[in-house]
Amino acid sequence: MLSQVAQTMHKFVKQCENKQVLNLYNQIEQGKMLRSKLILLIAGQTPQAVELCAVVELIHLSSLLHDDVLDEASTRRGKPTIHILFDTKTAIMLGDVLYSKAFSQLSLIHKDVAYCISSAVTALSIGELLDIELSKSFNTNQELYMDMINKKTASLIEASTKSAAILSNKDRDKFAIYGKSLGLSFQIIDDILDITQNSETLGKPAMSDFKDGKTTLSYMLLYQELSNDDKTKLKSYFKKSLTKDELSWIKNNMTKHDILNKTKQIARQLAQNGLNAIKNEQNKKLFDIINDILNRER
Ligand code: FPP
Ligand code: MG
């Protein structure tokens, strides 16, 4: 069924009637399609659900095109990013073409779904803005981090599960809570993988968040545990290209204070909130997908 989503995305891009757009689009590596998996599990495999999936995936793809420009990322999913293969202007405009086309298609679906998804795009754009603001200095405020990942990542996942519930006449509020909780734990796990995995597995450089100014949850939890001298040391490493020894110092301290388990426990608790919201649903796969997210290694 995910292949039908990919085909529909391709059909939408073809409808833009521009060879350059199609050519650029064909060079983007497809992702895990988490949002589509959720939509299809909740709404069932209907043609309308597939169209919604294609819309959401195109929005997600365009947000990543813009994100890679903003983050100056040279690889994604193990391949050079579009702004490296071509240039920044091309990557931004391709993103604009893809998400505006997605919006045209969205306007043909369901009024409530259109409102839900388009509002999520406002939220995710604000989330990205917050991410940029937070990256300017070492952040120790967990609330600000949670608000940022809620907007940047959870908003579109929440809108996807809620919209799928709208399309299939299910309880939209419960599925919104499920999507939001799952989105938050997804991002927290993503931030852990930046610390634990190598660049080959990640398809992008390892341990790059802190260097890029992102004080993710594990760094905040570590900071709380450190002595004053070590707090100063950690802060001095912020937004710098670190030596092997300096990276080891961070990793060793994370191990010493059991930080990654503590971070994962927060992701687990959030996931549990999501599961509680849909506990009366007879849909085992919605439970499995949360476990896949918690246990994923890439
Ligand atoms: C990845 O975060 C980025 C996002 C989830 C959202 C990006 C949103 C925008 C750029 C707003 C513009 C929106 C549209 C629709 C054009 P990350 O950098 O933490 O993750 P990564 O490691 O996968 O890059
Ligand atoms: Mg990024």
Q: Given a cut of 90, is residue 283 above it in pLDDT?
A: no
Could you read off the pLDDT of 14-42 as tens digits, one per residue?
999 999 999 999 999 889 999 999 999 99
Pocket of ligand 1 (CB under 6 A): 59, 62-63, 66-67, 70-71, 73, 95, 99, 121, 124-125, 128, 152-153
Distances (CA, A) of 182 to 16, 169, 187: 33, 21, 9
Q: What pairs with residue 76 in β-bridges?
A: 79
Q: Measured from the CA of 73, which atom of ligand 1 is nearest?
A: 24
Range with the lowest mean pLDDT among 168-172, 189-193, 194-198, 201-205?
Answer: 201-205
Domains and CATH numbers, the chain: 1-109 (1.10.600.10), 111-298 (1.10.600.10)
Q: Return d(Cα 263, Cα 217) in angstroms, integer.
A: 7
Q: Given a cut of 90, is residue 202 above it in pLDDT?
A: no
Hey, which of 68, 92, 121, 128 would you mutate to test ligand 1's pocket, going by the most ligand atoms within 8 Å of its Cβ? 128
Check residue 233 and give its pLDDT.
98
Cα(134) to centroid of ligand 2, in Å?
A: 14
Check residue 241 and give its pLDDT.
93
Check residue 78 and give its pLDDT.
86
Check residue 18 and give its pLDDT.
97
Q: Given a cut of 90, is residue 298 above it in pLDDT?
A: no
Contact between 268 and 185 (Cβ < 8 Å): yes
Q: How confident is the model at residue 201 (pLDDT cuts 50, 70, 90)?
A: confident
Q: How confident is the model at residue 254 (pLDDT cuts 50, 70, 90)?
A: very high
Hey, which of 62, 69, 124, 215 would you mutate to test ligand 1's pocket, going by the most ligand atoms within 8 Å of its Cβ? 124
Burial 224-252 (b: 16+ CB within 10 A, else e): eebeeeebeebeebbeeeeeeeebebbee
Could you read off the pLDDT of 70-129 as tens digits, one per residue?
999 999 988 999 999 999 999 999 999 999 999 999 999 999 999 999 999 999 999 999
Average pLDDT, the chain: 96
Check residue 282 and give its pLDDT.
82
Q: How confident is the model at residue 175 (pLDDT cuts 50, 70, 90)?
A: very high
Q: What is the rounded average pLDDT of the residues 158-165? A: 98
Supply 57's token pair.
């995936």
Contact between 240 and 195 (Cβ < 8 Å): no
Q: Return d(Cα 49, Cα 130) in angstroms, integer.
A: 31
> Which pTM does this prediction carry?
0.96
Provide, rounded to the nearest whole percent, the portion of the chain with pLDDT above 90.
91
Q: Given a cut of 90, is residue 162 above it in pLDDT?
A: yes
Cα(223) to centroid of ligand 1, in Å?
A: 26
Cα(76) to centroid of ligand 2, in Å?
A: 9
Other Cβ atoms less than 10 A from the Cβ of 270: the count is 23
Check residue 204 and give its pLDDT.
79
Q: What is the rounded average pLDDT of the residues 55-60? A: 98
Label the pairing between strands 75-76 and 79-80.
antiparallel
Cα(239) to centroid of ligand 2, in Å?
A: 15
Query: Of 22, 277, 63, nearest to 155 (Cα)?
Result: 63
